[in-house]
Amino acid sequence: MIGAFYIDDIDIYARYGVVITSGGYNDLLRFPALKEPDKNDWPEEDGIEVDLSAPTLEAKEVTVSFASNRPDTGDFIYLVSQPGYHTLHITELGKEWRLRLLTQTACKDYTSAVSFSLKFADDFPSRSDDYLPASGSGMTLPVSEYKIDNIPLSLYGIEIIGGWDDLLKSPTVKQNLTRSFATSDGKFYDADFVVFNSKETTLKCCLSAVSMAKFWECYTAFFNDLVKPDERSLYWEYVGEEYPCYYKQSSGFRVVSLSGPVVVEFSLTLVFTVFRIGETEYLLASEDGEMIETEDGEYLIDMNYGG
């Protein structure tokens, strides 16, 4: 464990007998959440109108789990309790974070050893204006049927492994004008039109990369593309529809493997500003799947027409 974890350039195992437990740094990988943007919710229109001209990010609170082969961790706690920010470096991730201590959230004594968790503030959400565009993770992945701004998620090394059922759900209906009187049964409701609310959907994702360097390249490109100004557009080939959305938050990061290949699972929450499930369109095609056009070559043939 020597050389695995450093705080302020101090090898915490060599000095204090302290290590980060398996899975104990997963929270550090979580993307920062988006600060709630300004929005208008017009009662007569589907969804919401959101100001994403300059999206900003929240600071993070992260919990890191430790273990020590010594029953007394006082010297280590003293180190991280000193004023100011402390730099945590994790060698196998090739990454470091500037953190400040908030609280000790758990502690368990095993007589000759101890495990404990510390909560830190990460006040510096990571964002970059200079990063490599999505170009694949070095893994052979099938071309994703999901695209964000016309970029297949597979170019970020990402596969969607859950959450599609929630994506198919229709949003709730906005409440129209309703009147209720104490002198009569029931209520009067304006049912002449139906519009829908915005909706949140959480997708379960898996990012696979051939190396740690490639993982960080994909990780950085994906997150920074998500939080660029303006709305994103999510296309799902299964339904053949494209929906406007924006990133809200991530959760549940879990390192599955750090070598051969690097595999990390996480959940991604998107807000769909307008989401309406339309009627399925059936277009005439030949046996080999080629769309059949009208004689002038300007239109496809709608099989729904006339009934």
DSSP assignments along 111-153, one per residue: SS-EEEEEEEEE-S----SS-PPP---SS--PPPSEEETTEEG
What's the mean per-residue pLDDT of the chain?
91
Render pLDDT for 158-204 as a digit per residue (tens, 0 to 9): 999 999 998 888 889 988 888 888 888 888 878 888 888 999 999 99
**Higher-confidence residue: 259 or 271?**
271
Confidence tier at 61 by pLDDT (50, 70, 90): very high
pLDDT at 168: 87
Confidence tier at 279 by pLDDT (50, 70, 90): low
**Higher-confidence residue: 116 or 285?**
116
Is residue 231 within 8 Å of residue 166, measured between CB atoms? no
Render pLDDT for 217-229 as a digit per residue (tens, 0 to 9): 999 999 999 999 9
**What mean pLDDT do residues 2-18 have?**
97
pLDDT at 35: 98
Which residue, 103, 102, 99, 63, is CA-closest to 84?
99
pLDDT at 280: 47
Task: Write down the architecture of domain 130-276 according to CATH.
Answer: Beta Barrel (2.40)
Q: Could you tell me the residue ranges of all domains in the chain?
A: 1-126, 130-276
pLDDT at 18: 97
Peptide bond into 83 cis (omega under 30): no
Is 130-276 in the same CATH topology as 1-126? yes
User: 111 exposed, middle or buried (CB, 10 Å; 0-12, 13-18, 19+)?
Assistant: exposed
Strand partners, 300: 293
**What mean pLDDT do residues 197-215 have?**
97
**What mean pLDDT do residues 202-218 have?**
98
Return d(Cα 82, Cα 99) in angstroms, integer: 11
**Higher-confidence residue: 85 or 126?**
85
pLDDT at 226: 98
Is residue 252 within 8 Å of residue 266, measured between CB atoms? yes
pLDDT at 307: 46
Task: Tell whether the model's pLDDT for residue 33 goes beyond 70.
Answer: yes
Confidence tier at 212 by pLDDT (50, 70, 90): very high
Of all residues in the chain, the percent with pLDDT exceeding 90 is 72
Return d(Cα 161, Cα 43) in angstroms, integer: 35
- Fold exhibited by the domain 1-126: Elongation Factor Tu (Ef-tu); domain 3 (2.40.30)
How is residue 199 written in tokens?
Answer: 């909706």
pLDDT at 177: 84
Is residue 225 within 8 Å of residue 148, measured between CB atoms? yes
**What mean pLDDT do residues 60-80 have?**
95
